[in-house]
Structure 1
Amino acid sequence: MIDVGEIKVEKADKPKVLLVHNYYQIPGGEDSVFYNEKKLLEVNGHEVITYTRNNQEITKFNILDKIKYPFNSVFSIKGYRDIKKIIKYNNVELLHVHNTWPLISPSVYYAAFKCNIPVVQTIHNFRMICPGATLYYNGKICEDSLYKGLKSTLKLKIYKGSFIQTLISAITLKTHRIFGTYKRINYIFLTEFNKKKILELNNKGKTIIDESKTFIKPNFVNGDKVIIPFDKRKNQFVFAGRLDKSKGIVLLLKAWLQIKDFDLIICGTGPEEEWCKKFIKDNKLTNVKFFGFISNEKTVKIISESKALILPTQWYEGFPMTIAESLSSGTPVIGSDIGNVGDIIDDEVNGIKFKYNSIDSLRDSIYRFESIDGNQLVLNAASIFKKKYNSKSNYEILNNIYKNVLK
């Protein structure tokens, strides 16, 4: 988890917030954001109550639980009653939701509506559009659900390769679109791209989401790191993330076949790990160093002493925390010109963008990076972090959103 730092703020007039989150079976970035936002609100004087469930519960379901599961995913009576009770008992003033899928369900929105308090929903992925949540299928971007409808996702079994799971998710989305649930909610999007893509749901003439209730607030990390000047950094670039084709690790290693002047550090593990090791060995890539899984602390240290972080993602992403970590160290980012990564990087200001699926473009971006004033890139990265991605500026954005929806 990330330290949000100490920010001393008076407690008066701080709304009491109920934070809601459905944990996944495999912990991920959303879980960290939920935890960090809770701490951020608390150190800034808010009373925070949490309501969480964990998808590990599904592994312990009895027969009756399994029968009720599809219906509860659409509208959980338990979730509705629990949230309404918590709101009334604690005099909660605002409901802030991170994830409801699948155990908590959208029923919690209706509990807030019943109690006449506003709902804020942070959008971490693309599940509002597609049951698969990623808009990525079979090795490429897939927006069929957006333009061909939710029925198209059933044939693809877009969610976990399961027709039933995809159907449950699709029914949940369709039901709450029909009932107008989503247009009554206030939304926090992590990037401008994220917002624009989700708002494409309105393109067919129906208002699924009320654009006037949308806001942008990125994720954050604590930024009290020592910035290493560019000319004092090691002659290396770093990849830190899951070793998966969707993250672009295959593209990156193929590009590095043509790069001899710099080292590449790889931190992470995943389904392509064995392929990576074999590729490195077979091609005698002596300037590629494979570290595997290491602690977040060690990863951040490597990023801080590298020329740049490379993020060759092949899909839209959510908001990669490694970007915020990198900028907090003044480390520029070389990333794909696609989705949220492309939205966060300002070309030749805090990093470099390249054509996301082109080996040659990635290779050329490394040498283009070397032609730019490195010290200025470091200063820009650190400055942009301070303005957008540290805990202090992030709380100011969040607090202003709360004030807006509570008017």
Structure 2
Amino acid sequence: MHVVVLAEFAVPSGGAEKVALESARGLAETGLTVTYVQAIEGPADPLLDHPRITRIGLGLADVWTRSALSAALSAIWHREAARRLVRALDGLAWPPDVLHLHQWTRSLSPSVFPVLFARSVPVVTTLHDYFLACPNGVHYRFDRTEPCALTPISVACLAAPCDGKSRAHKLVRVARTAALRAAIGRRRLDVVHVCDASRMRIGGLLGRFDLAHHRIDNPVRVPFAPPADPASGNALAYVGRLTREKGADLVAEAAALAGLTALFIGTGPLEAELRGRPNVELVGWQAPEAVERLLRSRARVVVAPSRWYETGPLTVYEALAAGLPVIASNRAGAAEKVADGVNGFVVEPEAGVLAVALRRLASDDQARALGRAAHARYWAAPMTLAAHAEALVKLYHGLLRERAHPAAAVLSLDQPLDAVS
């Protein structure tokens, strides 16, 4: 089987590319032939150094680095991206059996969807966010710092100043969403959800599309190791971009209330605001190995207090794998891996509520018990790269069988979500 993986970067610049890279490597290790199409010019991660992986670059630029007008037009419909993708696919040594798209909002635009559908093979996209339905991609009101309750592209949606940048940016994104809906139309699109919450939330927002929903966990590339000792940690750890929608400010407030140090691993717009707080320690972005060392040596608990309906974050799974308790927002998809009171806590994203959960970890015995449970539960069914690749291969084979024998596949579309992939 020949699978084309299409992403905008060939380095882990974000969660989508990280999963795209790891998926490509995992598929190659199962014996599949993989072509990794990198849209934006730049370096490539060593994960792509595999004899079964061929990398092709489209040589595009991030459209948001251009002038305002050029960026807006290209974001809505990037004709050159479509032309280059056609040339890349036409130049393959043999045609693909499956096309798997991971991200399209930085350079590709909706213009690539007709190119993919024209190949008459299954087109799969992993939903790392909500851009398929929502103009700002996160179904979140930045103006109100709360999840959005509006129907995408409704009159109320169009009037809402919800974008994190500006009203002008919102207008561009609305136009892009309209272009996306026209590009997809009633064509069959197979979407992979990385958490159950994504499937439940986005399903009602995309009723007009011909979608088939599948559920596959993101891979977590963490080697097995003995569990950490959270009782020896003195910090409340946060890993990721420092933004209000991800709840970075809540971490600092909760740590102050609980009398703990807030350890921030990452950078972002809130960095200056957080740096002025006495209980805060910022160490910036760190390599994965350094993050693991910091968490194992410093963290009593890892907190992911997302205000938006985040589909991840991967840091929750990595913390559980290390044997660290997690406090997760009930709006984050990763919370489905946290058993409240067993390996962590699932809470509302509010500073006071977070502080209460932190105080429950004041006991060393409680911290150790939750950490041991986190480690045991994670490694009982680890989200390994091999398991992820196996699920993808199973999905691809099912889609190809369905195309070959459509009548026999009708029943499978009515199966429960957990039986689909």
User: TM-score scaled to structure 1, two decimals?
Assistant: 0.80
**Do the aligned partners of 2:23 and 2:385 also contact (CA within 8 Å) in 1?**
no
1:295 aligns with 2:287: yes
Change (3 A) 1:255 1:69: closer
* 1:169-197 Cα deviation digits (max 9, x unpaired): 32343344356536511011110111111
Identify the match of residue 268 of structure 1 among 245, 259, 266.
266
2:8 counterpart SS class: strand
Identify the match of residue 92 of structure 1 among 83, 91, 96.
96
**Do the aligned partners of 2:113 and 2:184 also contact (CA within 8 Å) in 1?**
no
Where do residues 200-349 of structure 1 align in structure 2 (5 Å cutoff)? 200-202=204-206, 206-210=207-211, 213-230=212-229, 233-260=232-259, 262-280=260-278, 285=279, 288-305=280-297, 306-349=299-342
1:131 counterpart SS class: coil
**Do the aligned partners of 2:114 and 2:184 also contact (CA within 8 Å) in 1?**
no
Change (3 A) 1:241 1:139: farther
For the residues of structure 2 that align with 1:150 and 1:318, how far apart are their CA atoms?
26
For the residues of structure 1 that align with 2:68 and 2:303, how far apart are their CA atoms?
47
For the residues of structure 1 that align with 2:78 and 2:155, how far apart are their CA atoms?
17
**Do the aligned partners of 1:237 and 1:265 also contact (CA within 8 Å) in 2?**
yes
For the residues of structure 2 that align with 1:108 and 1:347, how far apart are their CA atoms?
42
1:152 aligns with 2:138: no
Change (3 A) 1:272 1:169: closer
Identify the match of residue 406 of structure 1 among 392, 400, 405.
400
* 1:38-94 Cα deviation digits (max 9, x unpaired): 11111221111122212635378699977963663489641562365146x422110
Identify the match of residue 39 of structure 1 among 25, 46, 49.
25
Where do residues 54-69 of structure 1 align in structure 2 (5 Å cutoff)? 54=40, 56-58=61-63, 69=74
Query: Aligned-pair distance for 1:338?
Result: 1.4
**Do the aligned partners of 1:18 and 1:96 also contact (CA within 8 Å) in 2?**
yes
For the residues of structure 2 that align with 1:235 and 1:150, how far apart are their CA atoms?
49
Change (3 A) 1:276 1:63: closer
For the residues of structure 2 that align with 1:68 and 1:242, how far apart are their CA atoms?
28
Identical aligned residues as a percent = 20
Change (3 A) 1:392 1:383: farther
For the residues of structure 2 that align with 1:93 and 1:129, how far apart are their CA atoms?
27
For the residues of structure 2 that align with 1:216 and 1:178, how far apart are their CA atoms?
26
Structural RMSD (CA): 3.3
How many equivalent pairs are there? 378
1:141 aligns with 2:146: yes
Structure 2 unmatched ranges of 5 or more:
41-59, 402-421
Residue identity opposite 2:30 in structure 1: N
Identify the match of residue 161 of structure 1 among 163, 166, 187.
166
Residue identity opposite 1:382 in structure 2: H
For the residues of structure 1 that align with 2:76 and 2:332, how far apart are their CA atoms?
33
* 1:308-361 Cα deviation digits (max 9, x unpaired): 21122222223222122212212221121213243342212332112212x221
